[in-house]
Structures are given as structure tokens and as C-alpha cells.
């Protein structure tokens, strides 16, 4: 299975990608997690990406395309993968096509801006392994501590309300047109957000027919 997950910031892409990746036994490639790791390690990519991420803007296409192509070339991707957060612009989608990357499905999680604004304030993330929680809807077993690796959870810098507002505007302008791009290619499927993480997983599995 080669899948793209589409959807606005906070739609639950990362949460569902982890669940689906475990279930299907394929790696999750999250450009957001890769970029946050690069920022933390002060790599050249991280140094370039930081100001864009802090402002809720997209990192330049050429940085993302090179980083993703490198990752897709690694051996664990041979049997399939879930791309979370890429492509995010038509240029990125076309670049994937030009390098011969084909997908079985582009799955878009459908959720309103109002639901997202309410959800983002409660998100907590693990700075080390990238696991994602919510203080109410998806809490860790022990408050403030990652279930996966035991690290202290943090609130992402780009989850401030004004930055979330800009990320949503960028999504509608740059990324939402990708739904039409994949619809034209017969690859688009949509899954409506419903209350609860497990319920959304069930909707996605039904949509995918698995």
C-alpha cells in the first residue's frame, strides 16, 4: 500500500498514520516529524526550515522534495509507505509523479476549521519519537509523559492560535487543490472526521475497504 494522507493541520493525519502504519506493517514518512528532528539537530535542512515552520508557512518545495526522495529510496519503503504531510503543494505532487512515485490512494481527512481550532490547544507531542496525544481525547497513560519512549511531552511552538490560523489559510490556498489533482487521477478518497480516534480509524478502514 502506497498512501498519501491529506487534510488540514490538526486533522489527525499523524495520529491515523501511526495506527494505519502499524496495522499494515509499513513505515510512516512524516515530513513534519523529519523537519522537527532536523531543527532540533541543527542540520542545514533544519536551519533553513525553522523560520518557515515557526511562522506556519510552508518550507520551500526543493527542500521537501530532496528530503522525501532520499527517504523513499531507503529499503524499508520498498513494500509500501504512508506519506503524512507531503505533498503539500502542486509542485511537490508533480515532482513525485516526475520521479515515478505512484500511489494507490490519496486519503483526505475532512474536518472543519472550527473543530481544528478547538482541538489544537490540547495537543501534546513527544519531541523525541514524534508520538502525538491530546489532553482530553487521546491522553498518555501518565500525564505529560510519552507512552512510547518516556520523554516529557511538549506543546508544539506552531500550535499557538495565531500560527494555527495561518497554517489553516496556507492549507486552503496551497494544499486543498491537491484533492482535485488526485481526484482527476482517480486516487482520491475522503474520510469524515467523527468523534474519537478509534471511530475515525474505523471510517478510514471502511473507506479503504480493509
The footprint of ligand AP5 (CB under 6 A) covers: 7, 9-15, 31-32, 35, 52-53, 56-59, 64, 85-86, 88, 92, 119, 122-123, 132-134, 137-138, 158, 167, 196-197, 200
Q: Which residue has its beta carbon closest to ligand AP5? A: 32
| Least gap, CB of 50 to ligand AP5 (angstroms) | 9
> Could you tell me the smallest distance in angstroms from the CB atom of residue 1 to ligand AP5?
19
Residue 206 is among the residues annotated as catalytic for this protein: no
187 is catalytic: no
Q: Which of 2, 48, 156, 183 is catalytic?
A: 156
- Active-site annotation holder among 71, 119, 123, 124: 123
Is 71 annotated in the active site?
Answer: no
Smaller CB distance to ligand AP5: residue 177 or 196? 196
The span from the CA of 69 to the CA of 97, in Å, is 11
For the bound state, the minimum distance from the C-beta of residue 183 to ligand AP5, rounded and expressed in Å, comes to 19
Respond yes or no: is residue 167 known to be catalytic: yes
Known active-site residue 156: yes
Closer by beta carbon to ligand AP5, 48 or else 183:
48
Q: Return the active site residues.
A: 13, 88, 123, 156, 167
Amino acid at each position: 500500500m502506497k498512501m498519501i494522507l491529506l487534510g488540514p493541520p490538526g486533522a489527525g493525519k499523524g495520529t491515523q498514520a501511526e495506527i494505519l502504519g502499524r496495522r499494515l506493517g509499513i513505515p510512516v514518512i512524516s515530513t513534519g516529524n523529519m523537519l522537527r528532528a532536523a531543527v532540533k539537530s541543527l542540520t542545514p535542512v533544519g536551519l533553513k526550515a525553522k523560520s518557515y515552520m515557526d511562522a506556519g508557512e510552508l518550507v520551500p518545495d526543493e527542500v521537501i522534495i530532496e528530503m522525501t526522495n532520499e527517504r523513499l529510496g531507503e529499503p524499508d519503503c520498498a513494500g509500501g509507505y504512508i506519506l503524512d504531510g507531503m505533498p503539500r503543494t502542486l509542485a511537490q505532487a508533480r515532482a513525485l509523479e516526475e520521479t515515478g512515485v505512484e500511489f494507490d490512494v490519496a486519503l483526505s481527512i475532512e474536518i472543519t476549521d472550527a473543530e481544528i481550532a478547538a482541538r489544537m490547544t490540547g495537543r501534546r507531542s513527544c519531541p523525541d519519537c514524534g508520538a502525538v496525544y491530546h489532553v482530553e481525547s487521546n491522553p498518555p497513560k501518565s500525564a505529560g509523559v510519552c507512552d512510547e519512549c518516556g520523554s516529557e511531552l511538549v506543546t508544539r511552538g506552531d500550535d499557538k492560535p495565531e500560527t494555527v490560523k495561518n497554517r489553516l489559510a496556507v492549507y486552503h490556498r496551497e494544499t486543498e487543490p491537491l484533492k482535485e489533482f488526485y481526484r482527476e487521477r482517480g486516487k482520491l478518497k475522503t474520510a469524515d472526521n467523527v468523534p474519537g480516534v478509534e471511530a475515525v480509524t474505523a471510517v478510514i478502514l471502511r473507506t479503504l475497504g480493509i
